[in-house]
Structure 1
Amino acid sequence: MKSVLKFIFVDSLVNILGDLFEQPMVNWLFIGWGWL
């Protein structure tokens, strides 16, 4: 049971971090296209 909770926690953490890192990249991409 503990390992399942740990897996869910790590999985959600990875998703949150992925979203945080993804957003700026997409934003920078749009800014880059805007400058071009």
Structure 2
Amino acid sequence: MENKEVLQLTKVDLLGSAGVAMALTTLIMFLSSALV
């Protein structure tokens, strides 16, 4: 694997985990506001 490919994969992983974190945070915010 070339360095470019590794960097691209790392970027995708970071974006993926960031997206999951954002979705979880949004879900928690929505649930807490709905419960209150």
TM-score, normalisation: structure 2? 0.70
Which consecutive aligned stretches of 4+ in structure 1 deviate over 6 angstroms post-superposition?
none
Which one of 13, 16, 21 corresponds to residue 14 of structure 1? 16
1:2 pairs with 2:4: yes
RMSD of equivalent CA atoms? 1.0
What are the ranges of 5 or more consecutive residues in structure 1 without an aligned counterpart? none
Equivalent pairs counted in the alignment come to 34
Identity %: 21
